[in-house]
Chain A
Amino acid sequence: MFILTTIQDLIQIAPPDFHKPSPQAIKDAINAKYANKVVLNIGLCICMWDLLSSSEGLIGHGTGLVNVNVEFRIAVFRPFRGEIVKGRIGHSTQEGIWVGLNFTNEVFVPFQNLFENSHFEEGERVWVWDSEGTELFFDKGETVLFRVEQEEWIDQKPGIVQKDENGNVIEERGTAWRLIGSMAQPGLGPTLWWGDQEEGEEQEGGGEQAMVGEQEVGGELEDAGEQGDGREDVDEMVVDGA
């Protein structure tokens, strides 16, 4: 769910912060710039983890700002594909369910990714899973487990002008990053459902799960598998050479 990213950057410390000892001033400046912000193709930055190196402070012409070259590691929220994450149902619409994680609400589970036989209850505005006659509700505020399927990056840099269908410029900036999740495997969805009666449920969903697993094995967990893959390649090469 969380990773560390190494970043090199030029950080500016304003004169009001000069009374702080340097490490504190640098840390505050880094956190002010990054904490709680999405960096494109990196993820949602949480907070500075540690400072790896920093240069002397340099003051340029015209301003009193101290410029410091720093290299630091930052904790970033960036779940990988296939990861199981806990969240809470925010609200539901015809299109699917929005899941919140307290610090981000940009997780969307489209209805195609819900259990089969799910339908939207217009009156109560909740999704309902019809599991062999039993109606199970995706209630608002329920703690759920979902599986990360893909992520969407939307570049929100200032120069880009977004237009709607009629050609009007959209002023409001949306999110830069959205996670697409799924809840269609036994164990996913509200944690309440999967409390104790595991025995029966397990068999019912067994086939489906195997199928889903099969399809996704290829692209999944690239990072984690990398080490092993590399090693195997080396082995093969040696054999070939001999």
Chain B
Amino acid sequence: MKIKEAQSALLSNHELLLHLRAEKAEYPDKDDKDGKDSKDSRDGNHHARKPPPGLENIFKDALTYLESQESHLPTLIATHPERPTTLYKGQHSLFRALSQKYRLNKAEYLQLYNLRPSSQVQLELIIEEAGSRFTDEQLEDILNEVSRVFDEEEGNISEGAEHVELEKMDAKMKGATKKRGARRKV
């Protein structure tokens, strides 16, 4: 075993949930005894395929965690059933909505996706030094933007919006970094 890259990408819980659901669909449903499972769940020779034991546990436990009652993910999937990538790419993504106005870093975006803050207390947990970086009104505005992006019905997003090439704006991603340097000089 050789680790080529310890961290090639960050995943949001939403992306993982979608992936796990897709993986699970490949295997026949245990409760589905009458053998009416879909064709995909069988292997080349139409034998029912069984998930490896470790994976079976993951399906059970990780899906329970991701789909738990308190989680916002089921609703998120319901509002973006066909094209979930619009949340991450294109004009309708959270990044486009917020990066125009606020400097947030990658970790903060990731947690906005994962926790979907609904109160200012939660938002201040996610955003480092929220008190000194943003005013109360700005935080309120971030919350509104977050709920606007997440609640946006997929139907209202134009076809292919997630594939449109947009101008890069990564300079805005610097977030807290610059501020940190500035303080040190003082």
Contacts and interface: CB of A to CB of B under 8 A. Distances in A.
Contacts of A28: 49, 51-52
Contact of A83 (B68, B111, B173, B177): B111
Contacts of A41: 6
B128 A217 contact: yes
B62 interface: yes
Contact of B121 (A202, A220, A225): A202
Given A20-B49, A202-B120, A232-B177, A35 B55 contact: yes
Given A47-B20, A47-B23, A210-B129, A3 B9 contact: yes
A213 B130 CA distance: 9
B64 A145 contact: no
B121 A7 contact: no
Task: State the majority secondary structure of interface residues on A.
Answer: mixed
Residues of B contacting A: mostly? helix
Interface residues of A, number: 67
Nearest to A3: B7
B62 A221 contact: no
B54 A217 contact: no
Contacts of A165: none
B118 to A, nearest CB: 10
A142 B111 CA distance: 21
Interface string B63-75: 0110010110000
Interface of A: 1-9, 19-21, 24, 28, 31-32, 34-37, 39, 41-42, 46-47, 49, 71, 73, 75, 78, 80, 82-84, 86, 101-103, 143, 145, 147, 185-188, 191, 194-195, 198, 201-202, 206, 209-210, 213-214, 217, 220-221, 223-225, 227-229, 231-232
8 contacts: A1-B11, A9-B1, A28-B52, A145-B125, A198-B119, A202-B120, A224-B108, A225-B105
